[in-house]
């Protein structure tokens, strides 16, 4: 009988892929060191005159969103919600 053992990733082994691009034209992606390591965070915004629309009913918006590299090698935000004018 052959037993397959899965390799468990340790935090030091976790690297995420490419993060979500920023919203154009005024949106920003603040990613100071460009790291893709576990727990790295990237902050997104829609620019000075817009907010992220998290849900439409009831309306819920956020000025900024933070995406973090998680243990499963995915960013916590894999797509960004749409921006709407303030």
35-52, pLDDT tens digit by residue?
999 999 999 999 999 999
Given this model, what pLDDT does residue 7 score? 55
Given this model, what pLDDT does residue 11 score? 65
54 neighbors 62 (Cβ within 8 angstroms): yes
Q: Are strands 41-45 and 64-68 parallel, antiparallel or unpaired?
A: antiparallel
Spans of all domains in the chain? 14-78
CA of residue 79 relative to chain centroid, distance: 7
Pick the CATH number of 14-78 from 3.30.70, 2.10.70, 2.60.40, 1.20.120: 2.10.70
With 0.75 as the threshold, say if the pTM is over it.
Answer: yes
What are the tens digits of pLDDT across the range 6-44?
456 566 788 999 998 876 678 899 999 999 999 999 999
pLDDT band at 62; cut points 50, 70, 90: very high
């Amino acid at each position: 009988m052959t037993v397959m053992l899965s390799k468990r990733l340790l935090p030091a082994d976790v690297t995420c892929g490419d993060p979500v691009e920023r919203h154009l034209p005024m949106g920003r992606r603040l990613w100071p060191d460009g790291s893709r390591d576990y727990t790295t965070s990237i902050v997104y915004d829609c620019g000075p005159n817009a907010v992220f629309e998290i849900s439409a009913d009831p309306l819920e918006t956020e000025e900024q969103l933070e995406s973090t590299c998680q243990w499963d090698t995915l960013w916590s935000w894999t797509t960004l919600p749409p921006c709407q004018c303030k």
